[in-house]
Amino acid sequence: EFSSVMVRALKMDTSQPSFLADLQYVARTDVGMRRANNQDSHAVLLAEDEQGWLERGHVFMVADGMGAHAAGELASKIAVDNVPHLYRHYRDLSPPDALRRAVVEGNSEIHRRGLANADFRAMGTTASIMVLLPQGVYVGHVGDSRVYRLRGERLDQLTFDHSLQWELRSLGRLSEDSDLARSIPKNVITRSLGPNADVVVDIEGPFPLAIGDTFLLCSDGLTGQVEDDEIGSLLAHLSPQEAAETLVDLANLRGGPDNITVVIAKAAGPGLLANGQIQ
Ligand code: CA
């Protein structure tokens, strides 16, 4: 009896292609402790076959909506319902070009729907979308949601925050501990999808993969409450599932003033790496 169960378990493992078997991922979203609605949205779109894996990879996305409550929810939902599929759809374009095009089209769709209905006018959302491919990782990004990579014990933020705080700091106009820096609310963002007909999209990458690399996409409901060094330790020492739950719990323990969304993807084995790239 025991051995037949073992055999079945082994067969189940080998029946999955390595680009799926070697991926660990988890997504968690939580309304937090103070808000009545969750305006965050997220998506995970895995490659379905070898060709899809080689050409488009796995897709992960977080979007954080803003506007009167129904508008914020709608904007982030339109973003995650459209951008990953548009990225897959533009097969003639390279992954980074397809990513940029998909985010631009997502912006147009949210903007159009905002103009069409007074209740949704000027609705907006952040958009952070990551594609994991054999040749590495690309990120398309607008707003102040974040993408991090943990490698070993080191955590790097792969995205720029399009917030007033960060933009002024990068221009050298603001020092971190000045009175002015403290007076600017952290949630004022300088770019988002939806409010304007055009949007400037950051494309980052490719970041070549190494076995063990763990990526975190998250909304500011997490990063407003949990520091980078805490995020790094939790990602380094817990499984993706445990880390996701602990990060959400920690943000809530500290007051949970905002919606919290975390998507974690880990390259747990060599099946996600291009041939010859194994490190
Ligand atoms: Ca938020």
Is residue 63 within 8 Å of residue 80, measured between CB atoms? yes
CA of 224 to the centre of ligand 1 (A): 9
State the chain's mean pLDDT as an integer. Answer: 92
| pLDDT score at 167 | 87
| pLDDT score at 1 | 43
Give the model's confidence band at 178: pLDDT under 50 very low, under 70 low, under 90 confident, else very high.
confident
| pLDDT score at 72 | 95
* Full-model pTM: 0.92
Mean pLDDT along residues 144-173: 93
Residues β-bridged to residue 163: 189
**Helix, strand or coil, per DSSP, at residue 146:** strand
CA of 64 to the centre of ligand 1 (A): 6
CA of 1 to the centre of ligand 1 (A): 51
Handedness of CA 182, 186, 192, 194 (dihedral sign): negative
Q: In the predicted model, is pLDDT for residue 168 greater than 70?
A: yes
CA of 9 to the centre of ligand 1 (A): 41
The structure tokens listed for 12 are: 């189940």
Q: In the predicted model, is pLDDT for residue 8 greater than 80?
A: no
**Helix, strand or coil, per DSSP, at residue 159:** coil
Alpha helices in the chain (DSSP H): 2-15, 18-21, 50-55, 69-89, 95-116, 164-170, 179-183, 220-223, 228-237, 240-253
Least confident of 3-12, 34-43, 73-82, 100-109: 3-12
